[in-house]
A and B are shown apart, each in its own frame.
Chain A
Amino acid sequence: MPTLTQKLANPTRFMALSARLLPWVTAAALIVLAVGLVLAARAPPDYQQAHTVKIMFVHVPSAWLAMAVYALIAASGVGLLVFRHPLADVSAKAAAPLGAAFTFLALVTGSLWGKPMWGTYWAWDGRLTSVLILFFLYLGLIALRSSLDDEALAGKLTAILAIVGIVILPVIKFSVDWWNTLHQPSTRLTQTLDASFRIPLLVMAVAFTLGFTAMHLKGMRNEVMRRRVRALTIGLVERARSETLEDTSPASRTTP
């Protein structure tokens, strides 16, 4: 009797399950995003930042996902190295470009928020620099995997880099407490943020998370298909090679 983990580890079962889930997750993401955008548009101007506070509704969810996706990749690395879960590497590979994209968005929207509020697009302070390092870590994960032909080895090395690199997450989180920085301290949602901003922010965070989940599922499905194509192509080439060897072997020539 297979355990739940074994059932979930079966790529064929994952493909069937994800095919059923994907339309629902996508629809939920679009609906919640539509609600979030309406709430964001209707949010009142902040007494200090005026309407630029609306940038928070896309900047903060991007930054949250930038960190959460990296944690997911590191957890997938543990799943691959320790538990040898067959979908762990598929998950890590599919998540990396998505995490890089959200980190890029956190940096871009942060710069666009910083210019009118701080008077500059960029400052080499603790928070901004640590998020930039996270972005380079994502690029490193993608580049390391692309540079190796041996997929199993690439998966293991990428997993090790992801696990070592997780040290950047507490640095990002506490950078605003450890160093003097232009960036504001951590947002305490219920203590420092009025409901007129908190609710749109939470709705947008849910929308971004659902959007990531849908894209991650799709990316994992693509990766499973790519690996199947590769495995079948290798099988085809090997069969053609063995048939050629049989045709040209001395035994096949002397056989009447």
Chain B
Amino acid sequence: MMFDLGRHAEFIWLSYGSVGLVAGLLIVWLIVDGRRHARALAALEARGVRRRSAEPAPIDGAAGPIEPSAPRV
């Protein structure tokens, strides 16, 4: 039988379960974290705050984008 794991079955299930649990927590954390940053970025862009590389070419005389002094990433 595929799932007849003998007298040490609980150790095998716990091993696979711990891997599933930790991997699941990592995946949830990565997805939630990504959504949080994407929302924050979208909120800033909605206020007109954009990175220079994300800006269209400025029209002469028009106010330019906000240029952050922190290193650009």
Residues of B within 8 A of A105 (CB): 18-19, 22
CB pair B19 A225 closer than 8 Å: no
Partner of A52 from B8, B33, B40 at Cβ < 8 Å? B8
Cβ distance A15 to chain B, nearest Cβ, rounded Å: 10
Q: Tally chain B residues at the interface, Cβ within 8 Å.
A: 39
Cβ distance B27 to chain A, nearest Cβ, rounded Å: 7
Residues of B within 8 A of A232 (CB): 41, 44, 49-51, 66, 68
Residues of A within 8 A of B15 (CB): 55, 58-59, 108-109, 112-113
Residues of A within 8 A of B62 (CB): none
Residues of A within 8 A of B66 (CB): 232, 235-236, 239
Residues of A within 8 A of B33 (CB): 222
Once the chains are docked, how many angstroms separate the CA of A62 from the CA of B6? 24
Q: 26 A-B residue contacts at CB 8 Å?
A: A42-B2, A50-B6, A50-B8, A54-B12, A58-B15, A90-B73, A97-B26, A101-B23, A109-B15, A116-B8, A152-B71, A215-B30, A219-B30, A221-B34, A222-B37, A225-B38, A225-B40, A228-B73, A231-B68, A231-B72, A234-B68, A235-B49, A235-B66, A235-B69, A236-B47, A236-B49
Q: Which residues of B contact A (CB under 8 A)?
A: 2-3, 5-6, 8-9, 11-12, 14-16, 18-19, 22-23, 26-27, 30-31, 33-34, 37-38, 40-41, 44, 47, 49-51, 53, 66-73
